[in-house]
Amino acid sequence: MSLFFFGVNLHGFSQNIPTETSSSSNRIIKFYPNPASAFINFDFLRSYDVNYTLFIFNFMGKKILEIKNTPSRINLNLVDFYRGIYIYQLRDKNGIIMETGKFQVVK
C-alpha cells in the first residue's frame, strides 16, 4: 500500500489525488469544527458509500486511525490526539483516494 502525504507519494507509486478546494460543492465530506479541541465531526455531503474508509494521519505521515465501513456521520473523540495538524484521507473500496484534507487540533 502506498502512503501519500500532501500529494507526495512516499513509496514511489503515483496516484491522482483530488486537490483541496474551498468550495463545498466539490467535497464529499464536511468536517467541523476546525480547529477542534475535544471532538471533530465528519458528515457526508454526497456520494456516501459504506465501503469508504477514513484514514487519519499525523503531520509526520504516521497513520493514527483507520475507520472502515464508515457511517454517514462520524463523531471523532480527540482525547488521544496531540495538539497539531492532522491529515484525513477518504478512500474507496479499491484504496483510491476520493478526498483529502487537513484539520487542526488545539488543546
Q: What is the pLDDT of residue 25?
A: 65
User: What H or E segment, with its residue span, contains residue 84?
Assistant: strand 84-91
Query: Which residue type, as a one-letter code, is found at position 50?
Result: V
Q: Are the CB atoms for 59 and 84 separated by under 8 Å?
A: yes
Ordered by start, the domain boundaries in the chain are 27-105
Give tens-digit pLDDT for 15-31. Answer: 444 444 445 568 899 99
CA distance 97 to 104: 21
Cell numbers that stand for 72 in this block: 454517514
pLDDT per position as a tens digit, 90-105: 999 999 999 999 999 9
Give SS3 for 42: strand
Task: State whether CATH 2.60.40.10 applies to domain 27-105.
Answer: yes
Which phi and psi angles does 24 have, rounded to 5°? Answer: -75, -15
Q: pLDDT by residue (tens digit) across 66-92?
A: 999 999 999 999 999 999 999 999 999
User: What is the overall mean pLDDT for the chain?
Assistant: 84
